[in-house]
């Protein structure tokens, strides 16, 4: 009988590289049984070795999350091989970097099917097994772009917005049913992942995340924390995410104009030489034999920590501190008035 977090069964989609790869490693360090779902065989084998070296038990499951049949079959395979699924992390995605008028309907559909419907399929598959047991956690990997669309990423922004709305509706339904299955979402900043080495692009220069850029381990720690504490409806990671979402809520029109001026240049880098540049829209990037790992090509300018992460994880402690500070200030003012 399983008795602790270190014996949990965790499913990670998009596990062959980037954030998914870093999440898999983090769960491996806990000794979890980690099912790795992705298309690329080379990346899956590398991720399995990472989990094994970290102390976990890996299971590789080649799957295209755009296919509901493949995802449902993968979930059943995980249950049969590893046991009941405790945590399901939806991280798989793809994208096209280009102005909207340069994206074909087929490309836009593919991004939507992988990024949005892949999340829907994963959630359906997880719930099929979790609901009868009345336990389990689903973590949706989101982005600041779930609230704030940016130029050159219309397909990806639209998919992340869709995940946000879908997850809110699902959360309310689970609350209505008094279900003990939990769902939460983690909104991420720009992250140094191999995405920018394989995303389909029609830009003049190499695509890059909107700075400031964080290492995938920062995102992974936040995602694993969310899996441990799914009572929160969502988590914001990075000060840049907080600023973007607050600015979008307060003055979206001004932010439109700012991004119109700065958004194109902020997502391109003319100084990057990338020998493993690929295109993974229709085929896995690692079909070229290269294991992309967790990190992208922006290690030199990426942050390995986020000072905002601790207060994001400890809202209660922050609230108590704010109240205490207000109390002290109030007492001082009272004393000065006497």
**Residue 202: other Cβ atoms inside 10 A:** 12
Annotate the chain with three-state secondary structure: CCCCHHHCEEEEECCCCHHHHHHHHHHHHCCCEEEEEECCHHHHHHHHHHHHHHCCEEEEEECCCCCHHHHHHHHHHHHHHHCCCCEEEECCCCCEECCHHHCCHHHHHHHHHHHHHHHHHHHHHHHHHHHHHCCEEEEEECCHHHCCCCCCCHHHHHHHHHHHHHHHHHHHHHHHCCCCEEEEEEECCEECCCHHHHCEECCCCEECCCCCEECHHHHHHHHHHHHHCCCCCEEECCHHHHHHHHHHHHCHHHHHHHHHHHHHHHCEECCCCCCCCCCCCCCCHHHHCCCCCCCCCCHHHEECCCCCHHHHHCHHHHHHHHHHHHHHHHHHHHHHCC
Residues 6+ apart with CB under 8 A from 282: 110
Q: Exactly one of 27, 116, 147, 156 is catalytic; which is it?
A: 156
Q: Report the sign of the C-alpha dihedral through residues 294, 297, 300, 301, in that order.
A: negative
27 is catalytic: no
Q: Which residues are catalytic?
A: 156
């Amino acid at each position: 009988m399983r008795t602790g977090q270190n014996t949990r069964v965790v499913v990670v989609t998009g596990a062959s590289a980037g954030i998914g790869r870093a999440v898999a490693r983090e769960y491996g360090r806990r000794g979890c049984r980690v099912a790795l779902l992705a298309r690329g065989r080379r990346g899956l084998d590398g991720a399995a070795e990472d989990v094994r070296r970290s102390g976990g038990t890996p299971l590789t499951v080649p799957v295209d999350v755009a296919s509901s049949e493949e995802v449902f079959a993968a979930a059943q395979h995980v249950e049969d091989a590893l046991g009941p699924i405790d945590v399901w992390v939806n991280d798989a995605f793809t994208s096209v970097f280009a102005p909207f008028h340069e994206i074909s309907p087929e490309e836009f559909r593919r991004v939507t099917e992988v990024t949005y419907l892949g999340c829907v399929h994963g959630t359906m598959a997880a719930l099929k097994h979790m609901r009868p047991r009345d336990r389990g956690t689903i973590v949706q990997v989101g982005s600041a772009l779930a609230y704030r669309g940016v130029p050159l990423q219309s397909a990806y922004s639209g998919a992340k917005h869709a995940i946000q709305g879908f997850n809110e509706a699902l959360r309310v339904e689970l609350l209505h049913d008094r279900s003990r299955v939990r769902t939460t979402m983690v909104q991420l900043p720009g992250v140094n992942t191999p995405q920018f080495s394989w995303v389909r692009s029609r830009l003049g220069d190499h695509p890059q995340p909107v700075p400031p850029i964080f290492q995938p381990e920062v995102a992974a720690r936040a995602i694993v924390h969310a899996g441990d504490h799914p009572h929160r409806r969502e988590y914001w990671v990075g000060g840049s995410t907080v600023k973007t979402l607050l600015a979008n809520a307060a003055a979206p029109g001004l932010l439109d104009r700012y991004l119109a001026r700065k958004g194109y240049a902020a997502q391109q880098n003319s100084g990057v030489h990338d020998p493993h540049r690929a295109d993974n829209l229709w085929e896995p990037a690692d079909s070229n034999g290269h294991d992309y790992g967790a990190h992208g090509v922006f290690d030199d300018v990426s942050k390995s920590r986020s000072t905002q992460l601790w207060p994001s994880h400890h809202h209660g402690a922050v609230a108590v501190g704010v109240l205490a500070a207000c109390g002290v200030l109030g007492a001082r003012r009272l004393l000065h008035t006497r």
